Amino acid sequence: MRRFFGSVGTIALLCLTNVLPIHAQPAVLTVSTLEGRGLNSKAINVQVWAGRATAIDFSRVNERITQIFLADPSRFTYATDTATQSGQATTVFLRQIQPLKFPHLTRANVTNLFIKTKTEDGTARLYTFNLLPGENSPKYNGLSIAAVSGTEQQRYTLEVGLFRQATLNDIERGLISAVRRGYTPASDPIVVKIREFLALARNTSDKSLVEIAQSVNLSLRVLTELGLMGIEDTATPTRTVPKPSLNQPLMHNSIPKTELIRFRE
């Protein structure tokens, strides 16, 4: 008799397990504008499961979709809640299709999706995602793009001047520029340390950039200089810059570049 009730109890528990949710993950995942634009990390992977749709929604940030570009359209298709030409589209719906063959078009296992939007004040934004077929059972129904919170903005950016903030991409761009201009060799240990900082920052969600820099014993002054160089590198045409003398520190926005030129702490 005990064995019978034990079996009944086990069956009841299994039935409840099938009915009740076993995890707290929401059906629609929240993604910040920084994450969606790839400004603080690599592009987000978006999975689309067979027979289902995955949505990317910009309603929460009140941005209007102006253009969509899918690099490899052989396995996916998309639609919007209203025509992009109307200037009112806010949601993209992605679906998997049977593989097609397009003449002269290359294919990829993981393709990329670009979505261009316009904010309320007319600012253009470009979002980038990696698109791939869903694996196993569906995990979510879509992504909701949300505004960056003050805490997140502080965590993913570095103050480099009055009303100026540098992202990880700016810092990395500045590092590439510094090596290209001959301020430091690529083999310099400080370059390795900066790359370690970038890798940690892109894979850590509970620490600010300042905290991560401290953990690898990296000077904030160096990161600030690199951030400024990265920002200016996107704003000015590429030009050849003579290698500065180590005895005559180059001035950058009135900040001595002794550390950047020597690239040592």
Examine the fold and report which residue of 148, 166, 189 is the final residue of a domain before the chain moves on: 148
> 60: which DSSP letter?
G
CA pair distance 33, 39, nearest whole angstrom: 9
Closest residue by Cα to residue 228 from 159, 179, 182: 159
* Pair (100, 171) in one structural domain: no
Residue 234 is assigned to a structural domain of this protein? yes
CA distances in angstroms from 37 to 53, 193, 204, 223, listed in the order given: 22, 26, 18, 22
Residue 66 is assigned to a structural domain of this protein? yes
Question: What local confidence, expressed as pLDDT, does residue 5 receive?
Answer: 36
Contact 9, 120 (CB under 8 A): no
Q: Please give the share of the chain, as a percent, with pLDDT higher than 90.
A: 37
**Residue 22 in this model has a pLDDT that exceeds 70:** no
Question: What local confidence, expressed as pLDDT, does residue 20 receive?
Answer: 37
* Pair (37, 49) in one structural domain: yes
Examine the fold and report which residue of 121, 148, 175 is the final residue of a domain before the chain moves on: 148
Average pLDDT over residues 241-248: 40
* Pair (223, 244) in one structural domain: yes
Q: Which DSSP helix (H) or strand (E) runs through 139?
A: none
Q: What is the largest CA-CA distance in the chain?
A: 92
- The angle formed by the CA atoms of residues 123, 125 and 128, to the nearest 5 degrees, is 175
For the chain, what is the domain count?
Answer: 2
Residue 246 is assigned to a structural domain of this protein? yes
CA pair distance 189, 238, nearest whole angstrom: 26
Chain mean position to CA 235: 21
How does residue 155 score in pLDDT terms, banded at 50, 70 and 90?
low
Q: Which domain holds residue 199?
A: 151-262
Q: Which two tokens stand for residue 253?
A: 């926005």
Average pLDDT, the chain: 78
Residue 6 is assigned to a structural domain of this protein? no
* Pair (176, 108) in one structural domain: no
Per residue in 38-75, pLDDT tens?
876 678 899 999 999 999 999 999 999 999 999 999 99
Residue 4 is assigned to a structural domain of this protein? no
Question: What local confidence, expressed as pLDDT, does residue 242 receive?
Answer: 45
Residue 132's CATH number: 2.60.40.1080
Average pLDDT over residues 185-194: 90
